[in-house]
Amino acid sequence: MTTPTIQLWEVFIRSRNGLAHRHVGSLHATDATMALQAARDVYTRRGEGLSIWVVPSNAIVASDPADKDMMFEPAMSKIYRHPTFYEVPEEVGHM
Amino acid sequence: MVAANISVTESPLVLYLLRRADDALILGHRLSEWCGHGPMLEEEMALANIGLDLIGQARELYSYAATAENAGHDEDDLAYLRDERQYGNLLLVEQPNGDFARTMVRQLFYSAFADPFWRATMASKDPTLSAIAAKSEKESAYHLRHASEWVIRLGDGTAESKRRAQEAVDDLWAFTGELFHVDVADRGLIAGGIAIDPETLRAAWTATVSDVLRTATLTMPASGWMQKGGRAGHHSEHLGHLLSELQWMQRTYPDATW
């Protein structure tokens, strides 16, 4: 089954109140209305969701895998950004 | 064919339930024929979902019919061991799938009736029928939305999709009159507040269908001669073929389990 001229959409589902929408996959649809219906049919058949977002896949701006080192490597070496060097006083209890 | 037909004692309530169950089962079976043939994966899932909703409605209606008949039959007996003349479904729902446009137009015509029908039936004085209606109404509302959106896109799409959608509308139109069929058996149920008078839904059905067709830039046929017969067991040549596939297993290997 090829659907070459039909737009691709990314689907986000919120499974429970209070949780964030999570990316669950993608699908083809001719427009936003049909994308929502298809998302309902493909991704919420077993009671997975309370709310659906669909976003045109081409509206997502993604980082280039080739830029991985420049983008993410500097953070790896900055261990002081992790709050692991601080002694938590006893009185604070569980943080 | 080994297993013989059962004989059902059709009180007005049993007959009423069987006719609605037959509508749901036959249309659900038609949609199941799309399995593996959907125009795209997303629609493959949608058609199967709608088909399963309808078969679920059929099961509840057959089970209640069996309880109401109280003759030892169950839902499977009613679905698999009645022949063509015992089926009381609308001629509309047994019409072949044809192309995707035809399947969606058939669904629009049926769902534009089923949605208000189930909503009104929630007020039935029969608590079981009212409960079946409450569940079916939510499903039918989605079926109507789905079919409407597709008919709009096919009608207002390419020249090819518009031609196919208009042909389907023209060909299936004569089967829509039967949606509002009422006979003597129904009259008592309507008077008793068990069943609703389908005539009260005609304005809603016409408004829904004409809105969708207008948005789809399709022409609504002038109401003319309407084909009837399904409710009385007089079917088109298509139902026998459908039932032979639907019933073959139970007829050949009665009560088979696995």
The interface pTM score, or ipTM, of the predicted complex is 0.78
Confidence at residue A2, expressed as pLDDT on a 0 to 100 scale: 53
Locate the domains of chain A by residue range: 8-86
Q: Label the pairing between strands A22-28 and A8-14.
A: antiparallel
Residue B119 lies in a domain: yes
Residue-wise pLDDT for B229-256, tens only, equals: 999 999 999 999 999 999 999 999 988 8
| Contact residues on chain A for B40, CB-CB shorter than 8 A | 1, 3, 6, 28
From A33's Cα to the closest Cα of chain B, the distance in A is: 8
Cα distances (Å, whole numbers) of residue B157 to A80, B112, B164, B208: 59, 22, 11, 20
Chain A residue numbers touching B145 (CB-CB < 8 A): 37
User: In this structure, is residue B92 part of a structural domain?
Assistant: yes
User: What was the pLDDT predicted at A4?
Assistant: 61
Decide which of B110 and B224 is more confident.
B110
Q: What is the pLDDT of residue B97?
A: 98
Cα nearest neighbour of B50 on chain A: A41
Q: What is the DSSP string of B139-170?
A: HHHHHHHHHHHHHHHHHTS-HHHHHHHHHHHH
Q: Between chains, do B149 and A28 touch, taking CB under 8 Å as contact? A: no
Residue B120 lies in a domain: yes
Domain A8-86 has CATH 1.10.510.10: no
In a domain, B149, yes or no: yes
pLDDT level of residue A95 (50, 70, 90 thresholds): low
| Domains: count for chain B | 1
What CATH number did the domain enclosing B247 receive?
A: 1.20.1260.10
Q: Does B6 map to a domain?
A: no
pLDDT band (50, 70, 90) for residue A70: confident
Comparing CB atoms, the residue among B40, B46, B142 nearest residue A1 is B40
Q: Which residues of A touch B150 (CB under 8 A)?
A: 34
Tell me the two tokens of residue B52: 């399963």
Give me the pLDDT at residue A90, please: 85
Residue A86 binned pLDDT confidence (cut-offs 50, 70, 90): confident
Average pLDDT, chain B: 96
Phi-psi label, residue A17: left if phi above 0, alpha if psi -120 to 50, beta otherwise = beta
| Domain boundaries, position B46 | 12-252
What are B237's two structure tokens?
């040549």
Task: Pull the structure tokens for residue B85.
Answer: 């003349």
Q: How far apart are CA B240 and CA B94, in angstroms?
A: 10
- pTM score, two decimals? 0.89
- pLDDT in the model for residue B61: 98
Identify whether B198 is part of a domain.
yes
Residue B131: Cβ within 10 Å count? 14
Which of B31, B43, B111 is the best mutation test for A, with the most CBs of A within 10 A?
Answer: B43
B3 in a structural domain: no
Neighbours of A90 (CB within 10 A): 6
Residues B183-206: tens digit of each pLDDT: 999 999 999 999 999 999 999 999
Instruction: Tell me if chain A has a CB within 8 Å of the CB of B46.
Output: yes
What is the pLDDT, as a whole number, of residue B187? 96
Q: Judge residue B139's burial from the number of C-beta atoms within 10 Å of its C-beta, 0-12 exposed, 13-18 middle, 19 or more buried.
A: buried
Q: Is residue B156 part of a domain?
A: yes
Q: How far is CA B37 from CA B31, B34, B42, B47, in A?
A: 10, 5, 12, 10
Least confident range of A55-59, B9-13, B223-227, B238-242: B223-227
Mean pLDDT for B60-77 is 97
